[in-house]
Each structure stands twice: as C-alpha cells, then as structure tokens.
Amino acid sequence: MITKKLILFGASNFGDEIVQLFRDINKSLSVGAWDIIGFLDDNPSSVGKVRNGIQVLGTRDWLATVNVTEFYFVCVVGSPSARASVVQFLQKSGCRFASGVHPSVIISDTSRIAEGTVVTAGNIITTNVIIGEHVIVNLSCTIGHYTRIGPFCTINPGVNISGDVTLEEGVLLGTNATVLEKIRIGRYSKIGAGAMVHREIPEGVTAVGIPAKVIKPR
Ligand SMILES: CC(C)(COP(=O)(O)OP(=O)(O)OC[C@H]1O[C@@H](n2cnc3c(N)ncnc32)[C@H](O)[C@@H]1OP(=O)(O)O)[C@@H](O)C(=O)NCCC(=O)NCCS
C-alpha cells in the first residue's frame, strides 16, 4: 500500500479535527493512505505534546532538520492572514501540500478544490464551484453554483453561500453567516457569525449583523 506522509501546521482543537478528517479519508480509501506524522506549531510550549494521538514535532525550525520533500503539508491555522504567512514560509522551504475532502461531502463533478485546502464533514458544494488554495471549509456549509472562493479563505461551520458569490483572498465567514447570490466580498474582510450579507463588502473590513453592516473600516 502506498502511504503519503502528512504534517499538519497548527496544533489546535481545529488541528485535531483535521487529524480525524484524514483518518476518515483513510477509512474510505481502497488503496493508499495518509500517514499522519505529526503537527508543527509556532508555539514552542506545545512542542512534544500529543494531541489526538499525534505528536507536536517542533516549531517551523523543525523543517531545517528533515528533507521536506518526503512529506505533504496542510496548514490548519484558522486566521486567513496568519495562514497565508505560514504557507508563504512553507513554500519558501520547498514544501508541497495535500488537500483533504471528507468522504461525507457532496460535491459536483464540475467543482474544483485546490491544494492545501480542507473540506470537513457534512458540506454540500454544488456545480462549478472553484475553491482556491489553502482554504478551510469547516463543518456543514452549503456553497452554491459558480461560486469562487479565493485562497486563504476561512468558512466557519454552518455558512450558506448562494450562487455566483465571489470571496476574494483571505475572507473569513463567521459561523452561520449567509451570503446572498452574486455578492463579492473583498480581500481579507471578516463577516461576523450569524451575519447576512446582501451587498458587496469592500476589502479589509469587518461586517456584522442582518443585514451585514461594516463596523470596522479598513
Ligand atoms: C465579527 C468578528 C470577526 C469581530 O471580531 P473582533 O474584530 O474581535 O470584534 P469585537 O469582538 O471587538 O466586536 C466589535 C463589536 O462587534 C460586535 N460583534 C462582534 N461579533 C458580532 C457578530 N457576529 N454579530 C453581531 N455583532 C458582533 C461586538 O459585540 C462589538 O460590539 P460593541 O462595539 O458594540 O461592543 C467576530 O466577532 C466573529 O463573529 N467571528 C467569527 C467567529 C466564528 O465564526 N467562530 C467559529 C470558529 S469554528
């Protein structure tokens, strides 16, 4: 059986969920499997700890001690900007990336998910959706037709994205947020939990509420 060695960057509760995601993927495969080697984390105090049966191997400095091409990496840091910064470092270090889609996810043949992206249990992704690199799609979201999700976005649990939506790079959608059809949300904007977005949101702002209003300008 061919196994690929996987390292998760970001030792956190969400990281533990991604361990389970890849275990569930392994159960669904007839050949091949992911061998979860360990976590890396920038917090030195977490090094050596074991989470969900997986050890924290080191900080990012650990990469200098190994041949990185032996491994695949996924960055599971929740903040889009922090994740982008870690991924930039991993790319410079020569790392390659895995992606993971939970076996329970319903996804059309015409939708695409780029490398470094994880889609956890219970999501429904309809037709012609494109999800960019290093995106996190957390539990039980719906993502409608022709939606484009840029790199480094974080989609928290229970989000509903209607058709033809564009999320530019690094958008964060809080738990249970709703985005109506054809809306664009600008780079690195944050949408609060429970918000309903019915108008375009510019880049770099925080918007909350129903309907969503900008509370923190750029
Ligand atoms: C919107 C959000 C990003 C703002 O975070 P922040 O920049 O730290 O903002 P603050 O906590 O300082 O809140 C600013 C104001 O917005 C209000 N606010 C924050 N989040 C809100 C929300 N989701 N809906 C309505 N109002 C909200 C606060 O009460 C505060 O109001 P005040 O100034 O009148 O006291 C954050 O609250 C949020 O909703 N994040 C998503 C969390 C999530 O989905 N977690 C799931 C992880 S799996």
Q: Which of 178, 196, 206 for a ligand 1 pocket mutation test, highest count of atoms within 8 Å of Cβ?
A: 206
pTM of this structure = 0.97
Cα distances from 216 to residues 73, 82, 171, in angstroms, run 34, 19, 15
Q: Which residue is it, tokens 């924290």?
A: 56
Confidence of residue 1 (pLDDT cuts 50, 70, 90): low
CA–CA separation, 34 and 98 (whole Å): 10
Ligand 1 contact, 209 CB (< 6 A): yes
Is 145 a catalytic site residue? yes
pLDDT in tens, 104-160: 999 999 999 999 999 999 999 999 999 999 999 999 999 999 999 999 999 999 999
Q: How far apart are CA 213 and CA 83, in angstroms?
A: 26
Mean pLDDT for all residues in the chain: 97
Please tell me the predicted confidence (pLDDT) of residue 218.
84
The preferred substitution site among 18, 201, 208 for testing ligand 1, maximizing ligand atoms within 8 Å of CB, is: 208
Please check the confidence at residue 32 and state whether its pLDDT lies above 90. Answer: no
> What are the domain boundaries of the chain?
3-98, 101-203
Q: What pLDDT is attached to residue 3?
A: 92
Does 17 contact ligand 1 (Cβ within 6 A)?
no
Q: How far apart are CA 203 and CA 128, in angstroms?
A: 25
Distance CA(23)–CA(94), nearest Å, equals 26
Per the model's pLDDT, the better-predicted residue between 40 and 2 turns out to be 40
**CA of residue 192 to ligand 1 center, whole Å:** 6
| Cβ(174) – ligand 1 distance below 6 Å | yes
Contacts (Cβ under 8 Å, ≥6 apart) of 83: 75, 77, 134, 136, 152, 154
For the residues 165-171, what does the mean pLDDT come to? 98
Q: What percent of the chain has pLDDT over 90?
A: 96
Distance 59 CA to ligand 1 centre (A): 30
The CATH number of the structural domain formed by 101-203 is 2.160.10.10
Atom of ligand 1 nearest to the CA of 138: 48
**pLDDT the model gives residue 31:** 76
Calculate how far, in angstroms, residue 84's C-alpha sits from the geometric centre of ligand 1: 22
CA atoms of 193 and 215, how far apart (whole Å): 13
**What number does CATH give the domain 3-98?**
3.40.50.20
In the three-class reduction of DSSP (H, G, I as helix; E, B as strand; rest coil), residue 148 is classed as strand
For residue 30, the model assigns a pLDDT of: 78
64 CB neighbour count, 10 Å cutoff: 9
pLDDT grade for 2, boundaries at 50, 70 and 90: confident
